[in-house]
Amino acid sequence: MTDPNSKVPDEERWAREVLGKLAMAAVTEQRRTRRWGIFFKLVFLTYLLVILALAWPDNLGQATRSAKSHTALVRVSGLISSSSAASAKNVNEALRRAFADKNTVGVILEINSPGGSPVQAGEIYDEIRRLRQAHPNIPVHAVVGEVCASGGYYIAAAAQNIYANKASIVGSIGVRMDSFGFTDAIAKLGIERRAYTAGENKDFLDPFKPLRSEDVQHLQGMLDQIHQQFVAVVEEGRGERLKGDREVFSGLVWTGEQSVDLGLVDALGSTRYVAEEIIGEKTLVDYTRRVRLMDRLFDGVESRLGAALREGVGLDERFGWR
């Protein structure tokens, strides 16, 4: 059998080969272009999804105004701080929306927090007391989850009654500040500390300098004052129900069952129990403010910048009810 191309002139055979290569190149280029097109479409879709996620409304899926009577639920979860979900801004906004709804017959504060900023907790406490005064017909009850300690209990004290699980952790009514001392460490490492200040106490509690007794005395006075503010709030909120003398203000924590005996908690009960048996309306509507991703990102940047500025002027937040 003879090759059919054997009788084809060399020029024609060359032209056919070139055309074949050009056709294959064109097909390859089309495939490459299609792949790049798919890639850029995926990139655009991802970008669009990110924008939508960042701009997702924080009240989507949340209650605005309910069509029927209900018990409003506001959750206080995690660390209480200006940049967390349990900030005064978020919690107070949810509380105001709950009270503004004419179909709200009662409010449950579901608290699961180890504490945090005394300022943020104080602002939430004040807002609860204000709303209770403005809406005397709407009861407010706190329900403890796993833990309601320190600043978390500060908030709970604003409620008319507090309920907990028998295994809940409750209390920690105290103030704490943490620090470290590195004077011996830097001496052993041969490090020379250089800090330049204007103001004789600007280096107050500098961890790289020996501790001064006057600094400790000043700090203890501040801690004692904040502690007394905490105690006054708890006494105002709990009144004669407190039974543990001054021990309840020592910073200790107790189980929910023990807390009932001490008057820190009124009774054992869950959110569902309080809604059905205490408030008398089993329908729950969650008003908890869900923060958009964009807000969390900007809040995080803002808090880091704020911390850097405070550190620069010596006003970093070192206190906490923890």
For residues 57, 63, 65, 67, the Cα torsion angle rounded to the nearest 10 degrees is 130
Please give the pLDDT value at position 257: 96
Please give the pLDDT value at position 197: 83
Please name which of 292, 272, 311 lies closest in space to residue 90, comparing C-alpha atoms.
Answer: 292
Please give the pLDDT value at position 52: 61
Helix segments in 101-212, DSSP class H: 118-134, 151-156, 183-189
Q: Determine the Cα–Cα distance for residues 313 and 322; give it in Å rounded to an integer.
A: 25
The CA distances from residue 317 to 54, 142, 205, 309, in Å, are 29, 28, 13, 11
107 close to 71: Cβ distance less than 8 angstroms: yes
The CA distances from residue 237 to 76, 119, 193, 240, 265, in Å, are 18, 18, 48, 9, 11
Residues 6+ apart with CB under 8 A from 269: 143, 163, 164, 277, 278
Q: pTM (2 decimals)?
A: 0.72
Strand partners, 321: 116
Q: Determine the Cα–Cα distance for residues 63 and 289; give it in Å rounded to an integer.
A: 10
Q: Amino acid identity, residue 58?
A: D
Please name which of 151, 25, 186, 139 lies closest in space to residue 78, comparing C-alpha atoms.
Answer: 151
Please give the pLDDT value at position 33: 78
DSSP three-state, residue 272? helix
DSSP secondary structure letter of residue 266: S
Please give the pLDDT value at position 1: 52
Q: % helix / strand / coil in the chain, to the nearest 5? A: 50, 15, 35
Please give the pLDDT value at position 317: 40
Per-residue pLDDT 10s for the chain (322 aa) are 555 555 556 667 777 776 777 777 777 777 777 777 777 677 777 766 766 655 555 544 444 456 599 999 999 999 999 989 999 999 999 999 999 999 999 999 999 999 999 999 999 999 999 999 999 999 999 999 999 999 999 999 999 999 999 999 999 998 888 877 777 777 778 887 777 888 888 878 878 788 888 888 998 999 999 999 999 999 999 989 998 778 889 999 999 999 999 999 999 999 999 999 999 999 999 999 876 555 545 555 455 545 444 444 444 444 455 5
Structure tokens at 149: 């300690």
The CA distances from residue 287 to 93, 130, 171, 217, in Å, are 9, 18, 26, 44
